Structure 1
Amino acid sequence: MDLLWPIKWLIELILVSFHTLFSSIGFSFNSGASWVLAIVGLVLVVRAALIPVFVKQIKSQRNMMLVQPELLKLQKKYKGKTDRESREKFAREQMDLYKRTGSNPLSSCLPLLLQMPIFMGLFFVLNDAQRNKAGVGLLDAALAQSFSQAEIFGARLSDTFFGSDDLNVKILAGTMIFLMTASQFITQKQIMTKNQNPDVQNSQFMQTQKILLYVLPFVFLISGVTFPLGVMTYWLVSNFWTMGQQFLVIRNMPTPGSPAFKAREERLARKGKLQIEEPTAAAEEETKKRQQPVGKQRAKKKKKQT
């Protein structure tokens, strides 16, 4: 049984539904425009469904930033201890710290990983359509042929960079690969330069982010030359969504202590909207209560010394 069958069926449902919609409002039935817009519609549906995951990702990333000082203390605690017991204790305490704070060092990859079945499902749908093979759902043989033969800028949606000698395909595929790679790099770069606290630049989390800065664009670069233009269209539109979404989050909900956070405070200050919380009477009273026992203890020590 094909494990991707439900995903392929759902992809075909969304694609055919949007294609029918755009064909009914004036776009040519067999045009690349109607099918590309259908792919854009697929992106909007998938990314809208992933918004809760993205919100969870943002919270997890913030928690990772806040937990870095504790994590650095933990690393110093076990620095130089290479015995098995110490390594196990370090791993256990680290996992407890992540669990207690709701952090996840791999949170940046989660939305991409969740979309991989969509990428693969769309790839196989296009691969079948390229051979004029009907899909598993609403994409019948006629629609499959229309999809595979639809052209954008003189290149078919089923063409790949290495699978065609047509110059139009090479230029379009190369341009899309470049844009995919650049958008992924920019998205990751703006997280590192604008939304990170400078105090944790040398933390393990930041080292992971630096690796992702170059690994993820490299993945797009390698994968792009083998994927059909239809799949790359989905990937490119999804990357632009991610880049725009990330820009809005960094601008409006930046990590405390980051350059973006300071920039937001400056914008609010210029508009007179920056609110500085004043300590309340209850908070002041609580502070006095906490300080009082310390004062008594010090006083007792002084009496004993005299």
Structure 2
Amino acid sequence: MLEPFIYPVSGILKLWHLLLHSVFGIDDSTAWLVSMFCLVLTVRTFLIPFFWAQAKTARIGVAMRPALAALKEEYATKTDRESILEFERKQKELREEYGHRISAGCVPALIQIPVFLGLYQVLLRMARPGDGLEVTPETRIGFLNADEINAFLDATVNGVPLPAYIAMPEDILARLGTTSGEVRDFVLPFLIAAVVFTTGNMIASIWRNMQTLDWDSGLARGMNKFLIGMTLFIPVLLITLALTGPLPVAIILYWFANNLWTLVQTLIIYPLVHRRIPLSEDFEEFSRERRDIAKSADREKRQVKWDTRRRKAAGAVMPWKIPAIRRELNEEKAARRAELEEQKAEAKALAKEKQKVRSEIQRERTQEKIAEWEKRPTVRRIAAWQARRQEKKKTRSSNPPAEPTASDEPDRGPSAAE
């Protein structure tokens, strides 16, 4: 599945190695190490425009959020055709005013993810070509052949082989000419630095989210809480995998270089985006208002939970009140559920009515496009040609050819008996 992305990444790695080793005469082992860092540098440099476009689009979406929310609120309960068309027109004008394109935020992410996966897979397969370190003559990783993979496996940095890892069995480490202690002493500084860079990137992301969080979206708030939890979990996971898992030295160095690049890129690009697209006072006021509403709703939920626990605790002290307390709690729960279901039903009915009108509008637009398409000269000629073919088929089927009679048979000449 990742082969289409492994080929270009492996090609870049191979070109860098040929340049460093064959042109500049750098030692083969050093050339592979430097090529690995140059690979990360090349791929990440290629992705800078996409990263910039994604950050810029996200910032524009944040800046236009108050105006878009006001527009949605204005047309929230209108389901007639004219209002829906007017809402679509105003929404389009608003996006054009801010220069916001949804595809500009989606396409960069769709490009970056497979490229990152291809980069990681190439380095992982180079460091671990199979269950062991044996490479068969037919082994290939993208454009890299078996000889180049063996040369990469023989490469060392500070006397430590690139395919070695801390938890590797001692007999294999001995074949590579190193020990677990040497690998650990070399890897730990880079591992700690990679963890620090990763944590810094996640903290910067959390800070940006808190500044521009969409408080109306429960998903956005949930994702931010999840990211906060992952900030505490990811460093422990990385350290555990590096110390106990089969993660080669090459991958640790890749983590170090890649996360360092991400941190520097974040510290440069996001301040530039914020300076180019500053948030207005209207947004700050809008964000505070939405935050207060969201936190008030959360406080009400917590108050209900604590009130329920308090009354249950009172029932434990006064057991004779347990039936009455349980009945009250069930009635309150049923009332809340009925109110929530009523709100959901109203919202669902409203959305269904809007969707019905939108479907009719979309159907009309599709028919108009088909009519315009059919008016094109080429399409009309093809349609006329197909009509003539159908007419000829009908004529042939209605007038079948007459069967030949005895008199119509050709003279075959004298028979063999004559």
Coarse TM-score class (shorter-chain normalised): 0.5 to 0.7
CA distance in 1, matches of 2:21, 2:140: 20
Residue 71 of structure 1: how far off its partner (Å): 8.4
Determine if contact 1:36/1:233 at 8 Å carries over to the other structure. Answer: no
Deviations 1:220-249 (A, max 9, x none): 753552422212322321221111111111
Q: How far, CA to CA, are the matches of 1:75 and 1:218 in structure 2?
A: 38
SS at match of 2:166: coil
Q: CA deviation at 1:158?
A: 0.9
Alpha-carbon distance change, 9 to 191 in structure 1, aligned in 2, over 3 angstroms: closer
> Which protein has the bigger helix share?
2
Q: 1:163 to 1:207 in 2, by over 3 A?
A: same
Question: Structure 2 residue aligned with 1:229, among 245, 249, 263?
Answer: 249
Deviates more, 1:5-14 or 1:142-151: 5-14
Output aligned runs, 1:5-154, within 5 Å.
5-24=3-22, 25-29=24-28, 31=29, 33-66=30-63, 69=66, 102=101, 111=112, 114-128=115-129, 130-133=133-136, 134-154=139-159
**How far 1:38 moved relative to its partner?**
0.5
| Amino acid paired to 1:208 | M
* C-alpha contact 1:154 1:169 (8 A) present in aligned 2: no
Say if 1:187 and 1:246, in contact at 8 Å, map to a contact too: yes
Task: Show the counterpart of 1:208.
Answer: 223
Equivalent residue, structure 1, for 2:191: 177
Equivalent-residue separation in structure 2 for 1:216 and 1:109 (angstroms): 21
| Equivalent residues, number | 235
Unmatched segments (≥5 aa) in structure 1: 78-95, 259-306
Query: Is 2:122–2:141's contact at 8 Å kept on the other side of the alignment?
Result: no
Instruction: Report the Cα offset of residue 112 of structure 1.
Output: 5.2
Cα displacement string for residues 80-107 of structure 1 (whole angstroms, at most 9, x for unaligned residues): xxxxxxxxxxxxxxxx99x965569999
Cα offsets for 1:187-242 (capped at 9, x unmatched): 2323444x567475866546534533552674575355242221232232122111
Q: 1:72 to 1:187 in 2, by over 3 A?
A: farther
Asked if residue 256 in structure 1 is aligned to residue 278 in structure 2, the reply is: yes
Q: CA separation in 2, counterparts of 1:71 and 1:214?
A: 31
Q: Distance in 1 between matches of 2:185 and 2:163?
A: 15
* CA positional deviation for 1:148: 1.1
Q: Which residue of 1 aligns with 2:259?
A: 239
Change in CA separation of 1:76 and 1:188 when aligned onto 2, cut-off 3 Å: farther
Contact 1:65 1:197 in 2 (8 A): no
Q: Secondary structure at the match of 1:139?
A: coil
| Matches of 2:64 and 2:167, distance apart in 1 | 46
State the shift of 1:62 in Å: 0.8
Counterpart selection for 2:200 from 186, 206, 222:
186
Residues 140 and 112 of structure 1, relative CA distance in 2, 3 Å threshold: closer
CA drift of 1:176 comes to 2.8
Q: Retained in 2: the 8 A contact 1:150–1:156?
A: yes
Answer yes or no: is the 8 Å Cα contact 1:8–1:122 preserved in 2. Answer: no
Give the 3 Å change call, closer, same or farther, for CA 17–146 of structure 1 in structure 2.
same
User: Computing the radius of gyration over CA atoms, which structure comes out larger, 1 or 2?
Assistant: 2
C-alpha distance 70-171 of structure 1, shift in aligned 2 (>3 A):
farther
Shift in CA distance, 244/10, structure 1 to aligned 2, threshold 3 Å: same
Residues 172 and 102 (structure 1), Cα distance of their counterparts in 2 relative to 1, 3 Å cut: farther
For the structure 1 residues 175 and 207, does the alpha-carbon distance in structure 2 shift closer, same or farther, using more than 3 Å as the test?
farther
TM-score by length of 1: 0.61
TM-score, normalization by structure 2: 0.46
Shift of 1:121: 3.4
Distance, in Å, in 2 between the alignment partners of 1:5 and 1:160 is 26
Against the structure 1 CA distance between its residues 170 and 64, is the aligned structure 2 distance closer, same or farther, given a 3 Å change threshold? Answer: farther
Quick one: distance in 2 between partners of 1:235 and 1:43? 10
Query: 1:265 — aligned with what?
Result: none
